[in-house]
Structure 1
Amino acid sequence: MTPKQSATPDLYLFDDSSPPAEDQRFQSECPPDAKVKVEDLFKFSRKRGDLHVSVVAAVLALFFLAVFWTQTGWDNRKLPDDFGTYVAYQFGLADIDGRVTRLGRIVKQSWVAPMLCLLVLVPAALWNLRLSWRETAWRKRFLLPTSAYFEVTKYIAALEFVAYFIGYTLIVPLLGYLVSTLILGTFLTWRLGYRSPRWMLIGFTSSLAVVIAFRTFLQIKTPLNIWLYDQLPDATRAFMLTYF
């Protein structure tokens, strides 16, 4: 350990050098893991940025509620004329003369499942927003940090990998599932810092194994018109479309 490294006790060195090359040493700024109690593994606690996430969740829930009436078939719902008596009949509290509409026909309507979800989602989102608001006010009262800058930047940084996946879906119709997956898997290995020849080979072979498992054996559906395969002879094109 060099004098500069020994002057910073928060830095820890590990002999297992991955992803660096074998002749390099991996330097981490992460402190060692603290001991965690088993009962605290699923303990919920509100941190910085909780209010922002709660606001987004509440807005989404209210948006789904607003479009429920026009997007789920609610306007074309088919219910018995005397719905109160019908509900009582289902619980054996009333009798109905004549033909009774089966409950299954009502439950299978397109608006039922979204309505059941909203009955849980909207109250839960609003109640969570209320608790999050109270927690944020409490933290401000005692001058505790409430800024969510760090959390927001991490969410924004994650959009980079969303862009990679979108680009992957765009090049599949051009280069095919095989070539596109090999490019994505190898590039992500390099992007995550595993840039030695050994790790690049591992990323390449892992991507190839994914293609063989999901396309060759499981035959997942891929686009039928692939530009790269169209440039091949008919027999080769048919083989690539079938297995890769």
Structure 2
Amino acid sequence: MTRPPRSDPPSTAASPASDPAHHDGDVALFLLTADPHDSIRTETPIERRFMAADLFLFRRTRGDFTFSLLMVGMVAVLLVFFSSQTGWQARKLPTDMLSYLATQLGIIDPEGRVMRLGKILKQGWVAPFLCLLILVPAVLLNLNGSWRSLRRRLRQQVPLRWRYEIGQWLRACEFIAYFILYTLSVPILGYLVSTVLMGGFLTARLGYRGWRWAAIALASSLAIVVLFRSVLQIRTPVNIWLYNQMPDGVALFLKTWF
């Protein structure tokens, strides 16, 4: 009588994928624990979490009224300079506009030579005029909604936190300064070096650190330079200090392609 082959008992060691204690941030964004009552470990920061139902939800949050005032001010500036900068003062229109419109719509028969509609539409003031016809009602309606939302928060005694609001607006000035520094560095270091340095710096500044993110920043910066300078031939400063310190052949190559 032969003894049946003995099978080894299944291994009790849990695999890394099934072990709740194991977590690989590159594989999954979050990990469900074995106990359904335990909390979920997630890689997503709290400020970046959202519900799928709120993805397209429009809400007026902090800064909406301030932004609405800025938009009204911008449109007011456009209105002030509209007549002097768009050719509105030298516009050419028919003397009797009502008769002209009736002729164009076929309501009445034309008498004599009628100005072509295309000649009117090609004038420089037409496109800005159409834009203002859309912008002015839009900013006024948005300002009205922002003001009503602000009044509702004031009635409910919701704290406005002006310091926080102003601080958030001032934080944008930091990146404006980075952009100004970048534009000033292009005539000195060249488009290639400036873009690579700025791409790596901004990546680290936003919190993406490590060799992996450094490689991604370098590849992205090089791709931008090749696309805009080498392929599309976007104009950049020619008299670059760094390139002038190099041999003539190398300098000419870099000025032409990078």
Would you call these one fold, judging by a TM-score over 0.5?
yes
Alignment-derived partner of residue 201 in structure 2: 187
User: For residue 50 of structure 1, what is the aligned residue in structure 2?
Assistant: 64
Query: More displaced, 45-54 or 148-157?
Result: 148-157
Q: 1:158 aligns with which of 161, 164, 172?
A: 172
CA distance in 2, matches of 1:166, 1:138: 40
The Cα offsets for residues 97-152 of structure 1, whole Å up to 9 and x where unpaired, read as 22221111111111111111111111221122122212211221122233354343
Post-superposition shift, 1:73? 0.9
Q: Which residue, 212, 215, 218 being the options, matches 2:226?
A: 212
- Out of 22, 26, 33, the residue aligned to residue 49 of structure 2 is 33
Report the alpha carbon displacement of residue 154 of structure 1 after superposing the two structures with TM. 2.0
Q: For 1:112, which of 114, 119, 126 is the aligned residue?
A: 126
The list of structure 1 runs, each at least 4 consecutive aligned residues, that deviate by more than 4 angstroms after superposition, is: 26-29
SS of equivalent residue, structure 2 residue 75: helix
Contact 1:73 1:110 (C-alpha < 8 Å) held by counterparts:
yes
Of residues 186-195 and 106-115 in structure 1, the stretch that sits farther from structure 2 once superposed is 186-195
Radius of gyration: which is bigger? 2
Q: RCO greater where, 1 or 2, for CA within 8 Å and sep 6 or more? A: 1
| Residue of structure 1 in register with 2:25 after alignment | 16
Q: Percent identity?
A: 50
CA gap 1:157/1:239 in 2 versus in 1, 3 angstroms:
same
Aligned partner letter, 2:197 = I
For 1:203, give the aligned amino acid: A
User: Contact 2:199/2:221 (CA < 8 Å) preserved in 1?
Assistant: yes
CA change 1:112–1:199 in 2 (3 A) is same
The question of 1:224 aligning with 2:238 is answered yes
Q: CA RMSD in A?
A: 2.5
- Residues 1:168 and 2:182 are matched in the alignment: yes
CA distance in 2, matches of 1:79, 1:15: 70
Kindly provide the amino acid, as one letter, of the partner of residue 237 in structure 2: P
Matched, 1:142 2:156: yes
Closer/same/farther in 2, CA of residues 127 and 217 from structure 1, 3 Å limit: closer
CA distance in 2, matches of 1:99, 1:109: 19
Check 1:209–1:34 CA distance in 2 against 1; reply closer, same or farther (3 A cut): closer
* Residue 95 (structure 1) shift: 2.4
Closer, same or farther: CA 192–55 of 1 in aligned 2, 3 Å: same
Deviation at 1:168, TM superposition (A): 1.0
Secondary structure of the structure 1 residue equivalent to 2:69: helix
- Ranges in structure 1 where 5+ consecutive residues have no aligned partner: 1-13, 18-25
Aligned counterparts of 1:147 and 1:221: Cα–Cα separation in 2: 45
Secondary structure of residue in 2 paired with 1:106: helix
- Of 110, 130, 141, the match for 1:127: 141
Identify the residue that residue 80 of structure 1 maps to in structure 2.
94
SS at match of 1:193: coil
Distance in structure 2 (CA, Å) of the matches to 1:133 and 1:79? 39
For the residue of structure 1 that corresponds to 2:236, the secondary structure is coil
Q: Which has the higher helix share?
A: 1
The TM-score, its normalising length taken from structure 1, stands at 0.80
Segments of 5+ residues of structure 2 without an aligned counterpart are 1-22, 27-41
Deviation at 1:232, TM superposition (A): 2.6
Shift of 1:32: 8.1
Secondary structure at the aligned position of 2:51 is classed as coil
The 8 Å contact of residues 49 and 148 in structure 1, kept in 2 or not, is answered as no
Residues 61 and 31 of structure 1: CA distance in aligned 2, closer, same or farther (over 3 Å):
closer
Contact 2:25-2:43 within 8 A present in 1 as well: no
- Following TM superposition, by how much is the alpha carbon of 1:30 offset from its aligned partner in structure 2, in angstroms? 1.9
Give 2:234's aligned amino acid: I
